[in-house]
Structure 1
Amino acid sequence: FNIFQNVIYTFLCSFFLFILLYFIKRLFVLNPCRILEHFNTCPEEYSVIFTSGCTAALKLVADTFPWKAVSNEGPGSQFCYLTDNHTSVVGIRGVTALQGVGTVSVLPHEVETRARKPQTQTNGEEECSVPHLFCYPAQSNFSGRKYPLSYVKGIQSQQLYPHRGRWFVLLDAACFVSCSPLDLSQYPADFVPISFYKMFGFPTGLGALLVRNEAAEVLRKTYFGGGTAAAYLVAENYFVPKPNVVSRFEDGTISFLDIISLHHGFETLQKLTGGMLNIQLHTFGLARYTYIVLSCLRHSNGKPVAQIHYDNDFQNIAEQGAILNFSLLDCHGRTVGYSQVDKMASLFNIHIRTGCFCNTGACQHYLVISNQNVRSNLHAGHICGDNIDLIEGRPTGSIRVSFGYMSSFEDCRNFLRFVVNCFVDKPLILDQKRLIKLKSAEPMESNGQVITPSPERITPSGDTVSKEGKKNNGSSHTLTNLFIYPVKSCASFEVTEWPLGPQGLLYDRLWMVVNENGVCLSQKREPKLCLIRPVICLASNTLQLQVSGMEAVTVPLETSLTNSDLRTSQSKVCGDRVQTVDCGEEVSAWLSEFLGKTCHLIRQRPEFLRDMKFGRAKAGDCGATALSLVNEAQFLLINRASVSFLQEHIANRYDSVNEGTWHDMEQLIQRFRANLVISGQEAFSEDGWSHLTIGDTQFQVIGRCGRCQMIGVDQKSATRTQEPLRSLSECRSGQVTFGVYLAHQTARNTTAVLILSVGACVIPRISESTEKP
């Protein structure tokens, strides 16, 4: 009976497993057909090659296209691409350059201006069989400009962009197909890379290359991986690829579970929206509405709030996608740095994209950035993806808002309210003439609503905030508070006097908390760090960590590297690799219990030297200055007058019920985590200082401190708030700098111990040439 029972059980399990695999296979096989159906084509015309993303699809074309080098025997291939292409398209020239293939960057207007009638092929013209590749985006990922899909046939037939030979078209459709329908039966591009993430928001890391079957026959592949071979020999150069196009190009195991999910993506898209035509109308309407209102906003002096980077007035849905690219301007017409806008947007749960969006050509065109500017910006320290948004007042990138099928009209209103509340010099002015003109030309039915900006009055930033350029004439300030932060991102330890070390205040930020992967934890990710109170006892040579409700834990100030129980490691602080040593299991267990995750306390190795980046210092003044685990500089100084100004600004934004939240200046000071707090009579006067003396110690001002969301963490409760970052941006015309960085370079051969004391006289020196904050 038991044997019979086991046989029945095994049979049933096998049967259900077979059924499950059958349906999985059905879904898997149906997906390519479903994808091609979405683009109005069929397997007889196109094949779907799954890749890890759109970039991988582009690289596949680059690696397998039959490039022909220029030689004495005849002309070679040409790789032509529009200057408005994504970086991943321009990168194909890295492959063509190694094969002796000519590369041509084509300006958008040149495609049609260089058109000609097709020429008849002459017998014996070898050049007419040379393969060329022309790449252009269906929609610019920078500005949302749509390029004519008719270019596909025009280039293939040589009616556009005249060159002899056989022309293939690579149509970068990744940005286009997220909100617009693409009919490949009408516009049969040879290679069409797409990203499913941009279409559905899921799954990431999955894209495809749609290959016209006629064009697939010319592709030549040298590498072969698992699943692509019909047969091959190990000891001989013998290899036969699988006959199926898709099987030849999908190396290894593809992400079949993600591919199965595409079926649900297409079904959901259809059920929620009714199809791509509806998505196109919906998203274009949102983009157009936002464009109209944003372009009509004016500061109190009548100057525009935004400079919009576009090629049309969002009049034609066939020429413009659901993307709005712009730069915000202050009331003086100066560009507000995009990183400042991004920081503020995060407070309002608004996601924007900033920078050049991997499209240097369009960025240069719209922002008027010359080739020399790009080189000089790199020399100044700016690289793609960083937060250096302005160099000598010139923008290095812009701001992009993109709409999708899940975006709503309320999203537009929230975004526009955010711009008005945070970046408009009040009272707001709407350009009624432009508003009427744009609305009268509206191409589609709309609800006719025009945004009414928030009427609440926001005190604008004026020239009275700081009187720049005025000499100090020896007027003094006083050092009122002295803070050290032994453990990075933990609470402060206030003292009345403290010695200076080679890296700043002695023991300031020599320790930091890292997770199990060695990544530094900060209050941005773990606000509870502010509840950990470090206490240093110089007499007992110990650092004690205290938290309410837990027994304190103690570690030695000086770590003996001869202790075999201590582990050394490398971590990163602001991109710099730092050498550290683990402080032991006891303190790790204590931190892990409090934070609820595996953590370690590590200390900077005593012999490790980390220099301040040269670009931060003024040439010839400081040279290389040693840093601890701080982000930017040895010291951070803030002015009580500046705190008081900001405190008053915050209080004016709230009614009397909530005013008490911000009445405590000391709590507000704690949020800015400064080492040195001074008294002052004029708010933000410190922005114009070049040097200062505290007691008998000389300091150089390195620069202003750019603030982020971390100042929104209440240092007593670890709760997050939008203030004071929101008001800081408002009262400083979009800038979010507060406080200045200082550097002190100890003489190499000195043995004297310098001490800072609360109550010491602070004498600043004003820079000969200062910028307005």
Structure 2
Amino acid sequence: MASCEFAGLCTFESFKRNWPHYGFDTDQRELIQREFTRIKDITYLDHAGTTLFPESQIRNFYEDISRNVYGNPHSHNPSSRLTHDTVESVRYRILQHFNTSPEEYSVIFTAGCTAALKLVADSFPWVSAHGNCSGSQFCYLTDNHTSVVGIRGVTGPKGVETVPVSPQEVEARAKNNQTSVSTGHECSVPHLFCYPAQSNFSGRKYPLSYVRGVQSRRLFPACERRGRWFVLLDAACFAGCSPLDLKQHPADFVPISFYKMFGFPTGLGALLVRNEAAELLRKGYFGGGTAAAYLVGEDYFVPNSNVVSRFEDGTISFLDVISLHHGFDTLHKLTGSMVNIQLHTFGLARYTYIMLSCLRHSNEQPVAQIYCDNEFESAAEQGAVLNFNLLDCHGRVVGYSQVDKMACLFSVHMRTGCFCNTGACQAHLGISNQEVKRNLQAGHVCGDSIDMVDGRPTGSIRISFGYMSTFEDCRNFLKFVVSCFVDKPLRLDQDRLARLRLAAPAEATVSNELTSVPNGRTVPEGIDLNIFPGPVRKASSTEAVLKTEGNSGKAHTLTNIFIYPIKSCAAFEVTEWPVVLQGLLYDRTWMVVNENGVCLSQKREPKLCLIHPHICLASSTLQLQAPGMDPIALPLEASEENLVLRKCQSKVCGDRVQAVDCGERASVWLSQFLGKPCCLIRQNPDFSRDMKMGQEQGLCPPSLSLVNEAQFLLINRASVALLLDHIVNRHDISQNGTSFDMLQLLHRFRANLVISGLEPFEEEDWSNVKIGGALFQVAGRCGRCQMIGIDQASGTRTQEPLRSLSECRNGKVTFGIYLLHLPKRNPSTYPTLSVGSHVIAQTEKSAD
């Protein structure tokens, strides 16, 4: 019975029975096919980062600006008046959307939500302590975005007291319904309380009643400080999927971000200011259009009397503003109302929350730790956001960076880290202030991929839904989690399913035990075997692997040398090759960039692997071959004339590199093959770029070519063989159409040096390596990404080998080691590496 019931939970029909608010009286799949064709085969779950614009919105905007001439609104000619009138119409449309009017609020356009917050910080009438008044307070909920907390960077130097307030403190006072009591002289000092309508971390919605509660000094912290209290309600995360009624909840300042509402335009936000609060704002800097009059010869300036004109410095982004008309039109046409969007998205988030929270490993341990403050019972209390970390069967957190890499294989787009909300991250993950500081000392900064420090997570994973999200998105996400991170057989907490009321037919008998999902083909109708795969078989022993690999010769031998003349293009295999200052001669000396100078890698353009470079030292040429193309030969060295005429810049792994354009002939050849404008550039011979990796170990930073991390990458054939055995023995290898052999898998890892070894992954314990007469130092392990999922012979994408690499290495996705060459002092010559050379390794222990 339990299995049959679970089959019902997995079907769209059951979901619709339990949540009739799905969709907008239309077929969601038809909506995607009509308006969002670009996300075919993509599971996009980062709507809290930015939602997606529908194609009709952009078409209508294009037709608008194609028909009409919009001039600078500061002029008075007909085209300028048209712009002014249209912009004013958009202002009214925005106020109407939030159920208010120009009599109550003004709309000040800004460069984004952060710019709107900065405007409040710079212009709020902060008062330092004086007389009987202790000065202004800047109070903020600890579950606030960085851009809100950053206001204290302005208030601190002004001597304004900063008071961080936890959600629990406000809740406790709200329950007591504390009311302020006036005692004698009432101070008119202004204070500001900031809180989010919805947490961008967990999706928790904070009561909008806090607005009037603070303004009337009935709610902490306003009830403890005399003066006039203003409320800043951060609606950036809230407004994308929820209706906001400013007539009922008249916050004084409401920053919003339009790309979170419509997906387009980006770089445009607004500050909705309550008119009675706007009169108190003070202006410092003044730009074009904000002055009624000023003198250049003396300090005389009179601001524009209109609050909007007073604060919109310079010419606003008027075409982007005009595009908002089409954003509102299309949103209403496709969905009907914000209430419909709220119910649709909440239903998807609730379903995903319930299913994810009920997943169990084979040993009954939970698969996920979810960070939330409720059970997703009400759309008034919870937004369409789900924040979590995945756990292995031993209860250990799987680093979010590892999960993100695997998600790319399944085309699942989500967000990881702390989401610019350190307060919520600390509260939910239990990270102390001291740990934040220690993590920084360990090299972790906001936005990086360092997901674990001392075995503890530094952040988490967030998925979020938009009005174009579908039930299939939920299924694809769950399939990804179960496929990659569940110790099979999957089990389900049926008791929790029943308690959360998803186990819908009411007449069904529900077991209170954990139930295994069947692994065979004879299963109850409704269960999708692809989303609930059976247990993965164990890889065979190391001895068997080595037997099939035939490593019966010398312990360590250099078996292959590969150079990659053009970054991300095919390998050029040699039997011997010289080492130079930057690594192997001509390794990653060239790269392909698009028309904007951005580096193209196989992650962006898989067809690069079909371009085969060949270096001919005798003729001093770089020869390129590709299917369906005539070969082309280019000079290895750039002439002095070209160095002067064709200098350009690009970036590699965040480093700015100086390069030389290789000319139109190469550009035409590459553009024709790749089907997009691009060109070939060569690292400027005079440019030097130092390696970052290993510097924390005190290693002398060597010079790099256009490689990502280090001069050399080495892999061990025994390690490749072990992984190959794991892939071949996967239970579903016959279903996903992937087939591998030793050579193909070896090419996936794009190493410079391949060795034969006795033990898989023994190379990870090495500190120094001697290959022939050349000495190398190990600079670290190579963290792998979805690029190893590209078949180097065809350019097709596969989930393997990253999926199996993560499984057989307990979540780690490192493979291979980075080396840097340790030349003799002031070398007159550099060594040459040869296939067949002996490889002598020194481990950390032997070094001691």
Common topology (TM > 0.5):
yes
Amino acid at match of 1:717: S
Alignment of 1:234-313 (within 5 A): 234-313=296-375
Amino acid at match of 1:242: N
Paired residue for 1:206? Answer: 268
Paired residue for 1:470? Answer: none
Q: Is the 8 A contact 1:293 1:451 kept in 2?
A: no
Answer yes or no: is 1:94 the counterpart of 2:153: yes
Alignment of 1:398-417 (within 5 A): 398-417=460-479
Distance 1:369 1:213, change over 3 A: same
Q: Is the 8 A contact 1:639 1:679 kept in 2?
A: yes
Distance 1:408 1:499, change over 3 A: same
Answer yes or no: is 1:37 the counterpart of 2:72: no
Paired residue for 1:757? Answer: 834
Amino acid at match of 1:308: I
Q: Is the 8 A contact 2:236 2:257 kept in 1?
A: yes
**How far is 1:193 from its partner?**
1.0
**How far is 1:63 from its partner?**
1.5
Deviations 1:545-590 (A, max 9, x none): 3334544444444445476655334432212233334445544444
Paired residue for 2:34? Answer: none
Answer yes or no: is 1:425 the counterpart of 2:487: yes
Given the alignment, which residue of 535, 556, 574 partners 1:495?
574
**How far is 1:441 from its partner?**
10
Answer yes or no: is 1:83 the counterpart of 2:145: no
Answer yes or no: is 1:120 the counterpart of 2:120: no
Amino acid at match of 2:691: M
Identity over the aligned pairs, expressed in percent? 70
Answer yes or no: is 1:629 the counterpart of 2:691: no
Distance 1:23 1:512, change over 3 A: closer
Q: Is the 8 A contact 1:460 1:730 kept in 2?
A: no
Paired residue for 2:390? Answer: 328
Paired residue for 2:750? Answer: 673
Distance 1:617 1:450, change over 3 A: farther
Paired residue for 2:162? Answer: 103
Paired residue for 2:52? Answer: none
Equivalent position SS for 1:381 = coil
- Which stretch shows the higher mean deviation, 726-735 or 672-681? 726-735
With the length of structure 2 as denominator, give the TM-score of the two structures.
0.80
- Which stretch shows the higher mean deviation, 142-151 or 37-46? 37-46
CA distance in 2, matches of 1:14, 1:670: 55
Amino acid at match of 1:325: N
- Which stretch shows the higher mean deviation, 716-725 or 452-461? 452-461
Paired residue for 1:514? Answer: 593
Answer yes or no: is 1:54 the counterpart of 2:116: no
**How far is 1:593 from its partner?**
4.3
Q: Is the 8 A contact 1:651 1:659 kept in 2?
A: no
Amino acid at match of 1:149: L
Distance 1:404 1:582, change over 3 A: closer
Deviations 1:139-159 (A, max 9, x none): 110011111212111211222
- Structure 1 residue runs of 5 or longer lacking an equivalent are 1-12, 468-473
Distance 1:594 1:280, change over 3 A: closer
Paired residue for 2:417? Answer: 355
Amino acid at match of 1:735: K
Q: Is the 8 A contact 1:425 1:460 kept in 2?
A: no
Q: Is the 8 A contact 1:582 1:600 kept in 2?
A: yes
Paired residue for 1:616? Answer: 694
Paired residue for 1:8? Answer: none
- Which stretch shows the higher mean deviation, 268-277 or 523-532? 268-277
CA distance in 1, matches of 2:101, 2:70: 33
**How far is 1:356 from its partner?**
1.0
Deviations 1:293-336 (A, max 9, x none): 11111222222211111122223333221110001122232222
Paired residue for 2:200? Answer: 141
Deviations 1:384-443 (A, max 9, x none): 22222223322221110111222222211111111101111211111222222222799x
Paired residue for 2:209? Answer: 150
CA distance in 2, matches of 1:551, 1:409: 48
CA distance in 2, matches of 1:466, 1:291: 44
Number of aligned pairs? 743
Paired residue for 2:282? Answer: 220
Paired residue for 1:4? Answer: none
Q: Is the 8 A contact 1:426 1:457 kept in 2?
A: yes
Q: Is the 8 A contact 2:257 2:270 kept in 1?
A: yes
Amino acid at match of 2:697: A
Paired residue for 1:537? Answer: 616
Distance 1:466 1:747, change over 3 A: farther
Deviations 1:618-669 (A, max 9, x none): 735x432332221111211222233333334444458797898524332222
Q: Is the 8 A contact 1:47 1:213 kept in 2?
A: yes
Equivalent position SS for 2:570 = coil
Paired residue for 1:10? Answer: none
Distance 1:299 1:686, change over 3 A: farther
CA distance in 2, matches of 1:276, 1:380: 44
CA distance in 2, matches of 1:256, 1:627: 45
**How far is 1:516 from its partner?**
4.2
Paired residue for 1:715? Answer: 792
Deviations 1:258-307 (A, max 9, x none): 33333343343334333222322222221121111111112222222111
Paired residue for 2:401? Answer: 339
Q: Is the 8 A contact 1:466 1:685 kept in 2?
A: no
Distance 1:291 1:37, change over 3 A: same
Given the alignment, which residue of 227, 234, 241 partners 1:179?
241
Q: Is the 8 A contact 2:537 2:729 kept in 1?
A: no
CA distance in 1, matches of 2:485, 2:86: 50
Paired residue for 1:70? Answer: 129
Paired residue for 1:9? Answer: none
Q: Is the 8 A contact 1:639 1:677 kept in 2?
A: yes
Deviations 1:59-118 (A, max 9, x none): 111121111123568532111111111011111112212322222222222224467431
Distance 1:596 1:656, change over 3 A: closer
Q: Is the 8 A contact 2:70 2:82 kept in 1?
A: no
- Which stretch shows the higher mean deviation, 714-723 or 418-427? 714-723
CA distance in 2, matches of 1:46, 1:241: 19
CA distance in 2, matches of 1:460, 1:155: 60
Alignment of 1:650-661 (within 5 A): 650-652=727-729
CA distance in 2, matches of 1:61, 1:759: 69
- Which stretch shows the higher mean deviation, 380-389 or 395-404? 380-389
Equivalent position SS for 1:164 = coil
Amino acid at match of 1:390: M
Alignment of 1:363-762 (within 5 A): 363-439=425-501, 454-457=531-534, 459=536, 476-559=555-638, 561=640, 566-613=645-692, 616=694, 619-620=697-698, 622-652=699-729, 662-751=739-828, 753-762=830-839
Deviations 1:679-698 (A, max 9, x none): 34544343344443333443
- Structure 2 residue runs of 5 or longer lacking an equivalent are 1-66, 72-76, 511-524, 545-552
Q: Is the 8 A contact 2:197 2:205 kept in 1?
A: yes
CA distance in 1, matches of 2:129, 2:733: 78
Amino acid at match of 1:48: V
Distance 1:169 1:461, change over 3 A: farther
CA distance in 1, matches of 2:468, 2:595: 37
CA distance in 2, matches of 1:215, 1:491: 63
Q: Is the 8 A contact 1:604 1:628 kept in 2?
A: yes
With the length of structure 1 as denominator, give the TM-score of the two structures.
0.88
Deviations 1:143-199 (A, max 9, x none): 111112121112112222111111111010111122222222222111111122222
CA distance in 2, matches of 1:589, 1:532: 14
Q: Is the 8 A contact 1:422 1:734 kept in 2?
A: no
CA distance in 1, matches of 2:578, 2:131: 76
Distance 1:585 1:204, change over 3 A: closer
The RMSD of aligned alpha carbons is 3.5
